[in-house]
């Protein structure tokens, strides 16, 4: 993420050598030595694991804006180079899309990149990257030597500067000055005359896209006086060129150093063709009328060889941002359907995963007949299908038409899905395949090189989201299983007592917590307990299990309520945990119509009498468990006549931001007074459903309801 460049540290007065643009000169020399066309130097901040761009050369800094400031753990080449102290090589757009989709999604153009650490034997100071246009098989030995030697020299310079307490900082970027005509020289004057006589428009732009020269024909075609256009960026100064697609073509030309073209409509109905000829100093643009093309096609011509639907960088970044919001696998499927599929013009999608040697369908959307996709669930990976093939080799597959797909996979004759073109994208995260994304199109669809690169990089972003989602779902299943194992599977109340319980985990974290409840039969009586260990994580859940086991053991050996509470308190202290717990323990004696209660910092229970009156029980109590080994827990005896309902709960039921706990208890009492005579299971559901705390669920919620009845 970019926070913008920070200003470099100002050198001390009178220290001329420190004013020299050391980093800029070294970078410019490196670009010339290895014949690269752009690059940048990053410096590692001394106070945090963050790389900051100190200087860039050959390209406008805006091209690398998302990476001006990056974390050392970020999945981009310069971070990998600095963190792992090794040279990183990416040979072209396909490899970039597979390995670094975050870069490819913003710069889906053909270029190769090398990144190297700037480090001494003991200290890493930063990293350098350089790029070349097009695709290259490998880095030559000479280029590798120049790159590593330059980085070594830079590291020594940075080390010396640090020793002198004059660290190097940001420097002006190195951009070639735009070429301009000098009227004082005869040759330049004649060249300007020649250009002015040409019947088509000519524009000279610098690396930042600013117009440095244009002839009269270009000014006429753009519909603005030349004086108003000089020094401006055309997609800003010319309203009908104010479309991100045209700026994207300019970026594509500079990064790839390839001739790039597009067609734009000048209102009301004149089409103009723009052809860009890039170099390391800027671009020359030829502008001509393209009316014949527009009449022949009857529609807006396609803008060059770029992707027809993924036309804006901001849209791609929006897609990437949306995928980071996915939590579970279902979220990923839905977000891909809501965000990615419309952007690429796909009418259906499926997410597949390999597990246990078989293909599994994680989710799908857009298929009129769901069985078309679901019949592939459980398919052996040895079967020859495009989904299994892409999973095994990690290479995307694009099929422009049904004929092309069925020619390579004849078995698809027997499994038509009603679509006419497909993109099979391998989902590779952390260097391993996690699944396949299938995008289906209703009509035959061509996949140009740029669009394939964008789709492949989107596959990488989907893979990272899916990997996180699979991990989250696995943790969720583990947490749910652990919670269920620690809570009682069923309640076995004694004669004369009816019981119902509910547990809701917090909606944040792992959905596992320290709230617990239990009902321990000790015929003819019974003991009930409810408690809350601090936190909602595995540690809290584990401690909760130990407390629950301890309460059961002390109850079984016949300890009185106050003894059970004291013994549990000492147990918690002996365990050496730094967590505390609240607890409410009661011994039920339905035959005598009473309950004896002991409380350790727990919210008081509510009692609903048979006539509908509800009151909060004022119980004596002691401190939280785990604080004072000598703490005492006095008991209170409460009458429990047939028809009475005891409501035991944890604070998550009544505590909610913005709501006073007293008001929440009043509301709960009103609910019990109104519907407290309903069946206990129904009442438990209603208590949870109407609770303000349970709706927000910032904390775990446990509820235990006990109703005395006359079984005689």
Q: Report the distance separating Cα 545 and Cα 536, nearest Å.
A: 13
Among 71-80, 238-247, 523-532, which is the least confidently predicted range? Answer: 238-247
Q: Is 15 exposed, middle or buried (0-12, 13-18, 19+ CB in 10 A)?
A: exposed
Number of other residues whose CB lies within 10 A of the CB of residue 210: 18
Compute the average pLDDT of residues 687-691. 85
- The answer, as to whether pTM is greater than 0.95, is no
5 — pLDDT class (breaks 50, 70, 90): very low
Counting residues of the chain whose pLDDT is more than 90, the rounded percentage is: 35
| pLDDT score at 448 | 81
Cβ atoms of residues 363 and 383 within 8 Å: no
Among 207-211, 276-280, 319-323, 392-396, which is the least confidently predicted range? Answer: 319-323
CATH 3.30.450.40 positions along the chain are 22-164, 309-477
Fold of 22-164: Beta-Lactamase (3.30.450)
Number of other residues whose CB lies within 10 A of the CB of residue 327: 14
Cβ atoms of residues 585 and 551 within 8 Å: yes
468 has a pLDDT exceeding 90: no
Among 98-102, 224-228, 311-315, 630-634, which is the least confidently predicted range? Answer: 311-315
Q: Report the distance separating Cα 472 and Cα 484, nearest Å.
A: 18
356 has a pLDDT exceeding 70: yes
Structure tokens at 362: 């994680």
| pLDDT score at 537 | 64
Q: Report the distance separating Cα 339 and Cα 369, nearest Å.
A: 22
496 — pLDDT class (breaks 50, 70, 90): confident
CATH code reported for the domain at 487-708:
3.60.40.10
15 — pLDDT class (breaks 50, 70, 90): very low
CATH 3.30.450.20 positions along the chain are 186-289
330 has a pLDDT exceeding 80: yes
Q: Report the distance separating Cα 426 and Cα 433, nearest Å.
A: 7
User: Within 13 Å and on the Cβ side, how many CA atoms surround 68?
Assistant: 15
Cα dihedral sign for 10, 15, 18, 19? positive
Fold of 186-289: Beta-Lactamase (3.30.450)
Structure tokens at 471: 């991990």
User: Within 13 Å and on the Cβ side, how many CA atoms surround 157?
Assistant: 20
**Contacting residues for 448 by C-beta, under 8 A, at least 6 apart:** 305, 306, 307
Structure tokens at 162: 């640090």
Q: Phi, psi (5° rounding) for residue 615?
A: -140, 150
| pLDDT score at 111 | 93
Cis peptide before 268 (omega within 30 of 0): yes
More confident residue, 545 or 499: 499
Q: Report the distance separating Cα 148 and Cα 115, nearest Å.
A: 10
Cβ atoms of residues 40 and 172 within 8 Å: no
| pLDDT score at 185 | 43
DSSP 239: G
| Alpha helices per DSSP H over 109-184 | 141-163
Q: E strand or H helix at 572, and its extent?
A: helix 561-574
CA angle 604, 608, 610 (to 5 degrees): 155
Three-state DSSP class for residue 345? coil
| pLDDT score at 379 | 85
Structure tokens at 27: 């970078």
81 — pLDDT class (breaks 50, 70, 90): very high
Find which of 184-198, 283-297, 341-355 is predicted with most confidence, using mean pLDDT.
Answer: 341-355
160 has a pLDDT exceeding 60: yes
CATH code reported for the domain at 309-477:
3.30.450.40
End-to-end CA distance of the chain: 72
Q: Report the distance separating Cα 489 and Cα 181, nearest Å.
A: 86
Q: Give 217-263 as a DSSP string.
A: HHHHHHTS-HHHHTTS-HHHHSGGG--HHHHHHHHHHHHHTS-EEEE
Starting at the edge strand found earlier in the chain, the sheet holding 358-365 runs 379-380, 358-365, 348-355, 432-441, 421-429, 397-399
Find which of 35-44, 296-305, 412-421, 493-502 is predicted with most confidence, using mean pLDDT.
Answer: 35-44
- CA 151 to chain CA centroid, Å, is 33
Mean pLDDT (the chain) is 82
Kindly list the distances between the CA atom of residue 28 and the CA atoms of 39, 175, 205, 359, in Å, as whole numbers in the listed order. Answer: 9, 10, 21, 51
317 has a pLDDT exceeding 60: no
């Amino acid at each position: 993420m970019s926070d913008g460049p920070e200003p470099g540290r100002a050198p001390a007065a009178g220290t001329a050598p420190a004013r020299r643009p050391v980093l800029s000169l070294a970078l410019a020399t490196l670009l010339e030595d290895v014949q690269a066309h752009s690059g940048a130097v990053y410096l590692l901040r001394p106070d945090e694991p963050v790389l900051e761009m100190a200087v860039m050369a050959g390209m406008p800094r805006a091209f690398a804006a998302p990476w001006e400031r990056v974390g050392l753990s970020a999945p981009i080449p310069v971070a990998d180079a600095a963190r792992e102290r090794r040279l990183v090589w990416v040979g072209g757009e396909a490899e970039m899309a597979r390995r670094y989709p975050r870069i490819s999604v913003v710069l889906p153009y053909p270029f190769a990149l090398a990144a190297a650490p700037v480090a001494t034997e003991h200290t890493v100071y930063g990293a350098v990257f350089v790029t070349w246009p097009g695709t290259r098989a490998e880095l030559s030995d000479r280029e590798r030597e120049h790159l590593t030697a330059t980085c070594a020299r830079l590291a020594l310079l940075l080390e010396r500067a640090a020793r002198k307490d004059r660290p190097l900082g940001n420097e002006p970027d190195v951009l070639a000055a735009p070429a301009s005509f000098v009227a004082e020289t005869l040759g330049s004057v004649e060249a300007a005359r020649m250009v002015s006589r040409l019947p088509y428009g000519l524009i000279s732009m610098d690396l930042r896209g600013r117009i440095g020269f244009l002839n009269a024909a270009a000014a006429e075609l753009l519909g603005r006086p030349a004086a108003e256009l000089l020094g401006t960026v055309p997609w800003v100064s010319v309203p009908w060129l104010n479309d991100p697609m045209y700026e994207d073509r300019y970026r594509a030309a500079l990064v790839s150093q390839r001739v790039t073209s597009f067609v734009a409509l000048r209102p009301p109905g004149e089409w103009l063709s723009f052809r860009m000829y890039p170099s390391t100093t800027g671009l020359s643009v030829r502008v001509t009328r393209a009316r014949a093309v527009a009449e022949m096609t009857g529609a807006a011509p396609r803008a060059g060889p770029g992707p027809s639907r993924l036309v804006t960088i901001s849209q791609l970044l929006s897609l990437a941002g949306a995928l980071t919001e996915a939590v579970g696998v279902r979220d990923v499927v839905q977000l891909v359907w809501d965000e990615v599929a419309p952007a690429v013009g796909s009418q259906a999608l499926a997410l597949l995963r390999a597990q246990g040697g078989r293909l599994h369908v994680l989710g799908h959307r857009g298929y009129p007949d769901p069985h078309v996709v679901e019949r592939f669930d459980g398919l052996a990976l040895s079967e020859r299908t495009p989904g299994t093939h892409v999973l095994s080799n990690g290479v995307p597959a694009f099929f422009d038409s049904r004929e092309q797909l069925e020619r390579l996979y004849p078995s698809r004759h027997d499994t038509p899905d009603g679509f006419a073109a497909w993109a099979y994208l391998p989902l590779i995260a952390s260097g391993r395949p996690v699944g396949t994304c299938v995008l289906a199109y209703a009509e035959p669809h061509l996949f140009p090189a740029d669009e394939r690169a964008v789709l492949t990089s989107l596959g990488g972003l989907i893979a990272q989201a899916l990997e996180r989602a699979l991990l989250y779902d696995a943790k969720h299943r583990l947490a749910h299983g652990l919670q269920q194992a620690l809570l009682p599977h069923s309640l076995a109340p004694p004669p004369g007592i009816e019981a119902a319980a509910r547990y809701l985990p917090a909606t944040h974290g792992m959905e596992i917590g320290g709230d617990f409840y239990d009902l321990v039969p000790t015929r003819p009586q019974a003991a009930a307990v409810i408690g809350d260990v601090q936190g909602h994580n595995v540690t809290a859940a584990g401690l909760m299990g130990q407390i629950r086991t301890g309460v059961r053991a002390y109850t079984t050996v016949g300890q009185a309520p106050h003894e059970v509470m004291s013994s549990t308190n000492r147990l918690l202290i002996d365990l050496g945990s730094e967590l505390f717990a609240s607890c409410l323990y009661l011994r039920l004696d339905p035959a005598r119509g009473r309950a004896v209660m002991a409380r350790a910092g727990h919210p008081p229970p509510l009692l609903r009498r048979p006539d509908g009156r509800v009151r909060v029980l004022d119980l004596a109590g002691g401190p939280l468990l785990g604080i004072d080994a000598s703490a005492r827990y006095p008991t209170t005896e409460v009458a429990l006549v047939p028809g009475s309902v005891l409501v035991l709960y944890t604070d998550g039921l009544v505590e909610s931001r913005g709501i006073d706990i007293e008001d929440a208890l009043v509301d709960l009492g009103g609910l019990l007074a109104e519907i407290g005579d309903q069946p206990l299971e129904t009442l438990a559901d209603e208590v949870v459903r109407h609770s303000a705390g349970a709706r927000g669920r910032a904390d775990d919620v446990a509820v235990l309801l006990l109703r005395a009845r006359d079984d005689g």
